[in-house]
Chain A
Amino acid sequence: MAEDSMIRLVDVTKAFPGSANPAVDKLSLGVGHGEFVTLVGPSGCGKTTTLKMINRIIEPTSGSIIIDGRDALASPAHELRRSIGYVIQQIGLFPHRTIAQNIATVPMLLGWEQSRIDDRVDELVETVGLEAEMLTRYPAELSGGQQQRVGVARALAADPPILLMDEPFGAVDPIVRKHLQQEFHDLQERLGKTVVFVTHDVDEAIFLGSRMAVLNVGGILEQYDRPETILANPANRFVESFLGGERGLKRLGLLPVTEAELKWGPFVDISTSPAGGRQTLEEHGVDWLGLLDGDRLLGWVDGSLLGAGPLADLEPRPFLVTLSSESSLRTALDAVVTGHARVAVVVDDGVYRGMLDLDLIAGEVTE
């Protein structure tokens, strides 16, 4: 891995006393500045052990860990930890402290002035989407999802360049989890933190990671790459089986529709003559016609309704589902298979961009 890695593990080994095989065996791994790396693998793969060695909750048996160019094992562990955000599945908020005090934990340890702490807490409450009136409450008065937001705010409090997260969304219910994942994904894009994120949930790893490290039992690194690359080309049978079924679909979920070359399809301006409209129908071999007013999408009309009058006299029906340029190919596929016209229409703020059909999407899967 490049020298400018934010976190670099070199031949890191952890052997717990009394167990025959090391939990992590000579693992080398680099995490770049601002990267979101997910560590994923079955239980016993050493993903949590690896994470906890980075902030020295677990001390490595051998090997070296370099953080931002400095030997992590050289300075006192508590100083290292204050410069690394840490979020765990049990959340671990301090029950005897208010939400504000919980968030202020590391700034307090660092000896910030109270006014600076107060400002920072107010800022963070907004960042993670909590309400200010929660600040005076105790953790037990918050729901699981709210507590984990506080956990994230607490980890971000002293603005550390690195966040370590150990299955942070594992204990909340699936709907809230999905929500937190999306929120955190957006948050990380805004803040540009370097994140190492442990999960046993492949879909979570695929969704969140800019790169994912697939670990096998004993801390063996099987593959380390962008999720879309791993999904397209699993390195071996282990990775393939760990990724599970629907690999193609999962990959489509990561790619935006703009990845495909959009077709224009049977779409014409309302100023087109009825004859021109019928010609478009024939060319595309369809029984419906999309209508545009300039670059704006009006809707579609049934081909059999095309008479002698101008197209502008017809009443276009709206497309039930439209996508934006940011939608994933997976959503496009869903629109194709559920829609009447068997196409997915891409519209940004009313402006027609193009459409996708099954052939086009299938081409992306096999690419």
Chain B
Amino acid sequence: MIVAQQIMPLFDWDWIGRNLDTIWARTVEHLALTGVALAVGMVISILLAALALWKPKTYAPITSVTGLLYTIPSLAVFALVAPFVGIGNTTEKFITAEMALIAYTLLILIRNIVTGIRNVPPGVREAAVGMGYRDADRLRRIEFPLALPVIMAGVRIATVTVVGLVTVTSLLGLGGLGFFILDGLRRSIIFPTEIIVGVVLSVVLAAALDLSLLVLGRAMTPWTRRGSI
């Protein structure tokens, strides 16, 4: 009996079959944590990018601060945020986790939005001004759509980064696919199946989201694939 307990199979397909519900629930949690971080990150980034485009002098400080945030290790961010927000209940844990995740999206998103819009050909911008577009309309209807390929490239990088980081938020007890990795490690005898499921699913999730965004981006920019003479 002792022998039976110590020899764990490398991969236990039955465990997957028994835990499909949990696996699904953790995947949904993972997606939700990722989605909220990206959505809020995008809103903040659009506002800060707009500020940087409107007042170019603000761009350097904005990238310095968000760049600094990007370099702090994820665990350290939790440690920094937790004392202020707390990790007493699920809401507090959620906010703490999201603040860290959002912080990681900002640099990539802001930089790609600003670069994308600055790279709009000067002739196109001048024509838009000359036709009588107001500043805000020109940004929304001409410059933003033309910057989309660069912006979507940023969104894809940010998404893949966040999917990876969400795995770490399971340390706060927020679920997600990181739960399986932690749980597999915490057992008295390491349970590889659970760890592999956590790792593989986060990688698959990141790849799937990346591919979806690639397809979405191409669908939004049909003109980029029409031949040039």
Contacts and interface: CB of A to CB of B under 8 A. Distances in A.
Do these two chains interact?
Answer: yes
Interface of A: 55, 57, 78-82, 86, 88-97, 105-106, 109, 137-138, 140-143, 151, 154, 164
B128 A94 contact: yes
B223 A82 contact: no
Contact of B223 (A80, A91, A96): A96
Given A82-B131, A95-B223, 8 more contacts: A82-B132, A86-B127, A91-B127, A94-B124, A109-B131, A137-B226, A140-B226, A154-B131
Contacts of B229: 140-143
A206 to B, nearest CB: 26
Nearest to B135: A78
A94 B228 contact: no
Contacts of A57: 126, 129-130
Of all A-B residue pairs in the complex, the 6 with the closest CB atoms, nearest first, are: A90-B123, A92-B127, A86-B130, A82-B132, A92-B123, A81-B132
Nearest to B130: A86
B132 A95 contact: no
17 contacts: A78-B134, A82-B131, A86-B131, A90-B121, A90-B122, A91-B127, A92-B121, A92-B123, A92-B126, A92-B127, A94-B127, A105-B131, A106-B131, A106-B132, A109-B132, A137-B226, A141-B229
Given A57-B126, A90-B126, A92-B123, A140 B223 contact: yes
Contacts of B133: 78, 109
Contacts of B221: 96
B123 to A, nearest CB: 3
A93 B226 CA distance: 15
Interface string B79-109: 0000000000000000000000000000000
Nearest to A89: B123
B56 interface: no
Nearest to B134: A78
A86 B124 CA distance: 12
Instruction: Identify the interface centre among B145, B223, B227: most chain A CB within 10 Å of its CB.
Output: B223
Contacts of B130: 55, 57, 81, 86, 88, 92, 164
B119 to A, nearest CB: 12
A338 B10 CA distance: 96
A259 to B, nearest CB: 39
A96 B226 CA distance: 10
Contacts of B132: 78-82, 106, 109
A89 B123 CA distance: 8
A109 B228 CA distance: 28
Interface in B35-66: none
A138 B127 contact: no
A105 B129 CA distance: 12
B142 interface: yes
A164 B134 CA distance: 19
Nearest to B120: A95
B146 interface: yes
Nearest to B145: A96
Nearest to A144: B229
Nearest to B123: A90
B50 to A, nearest CB: 19
A138 B223 contact: yes
Nearest to B129: A57
B131 A88 contact: no
B187 to A, nearest CB: 54
A86 B228 CA distance: 24
Contacts of B128: 92, 94
A151 B127 CA distance: 9
Contacts of A138: 222-223, 226
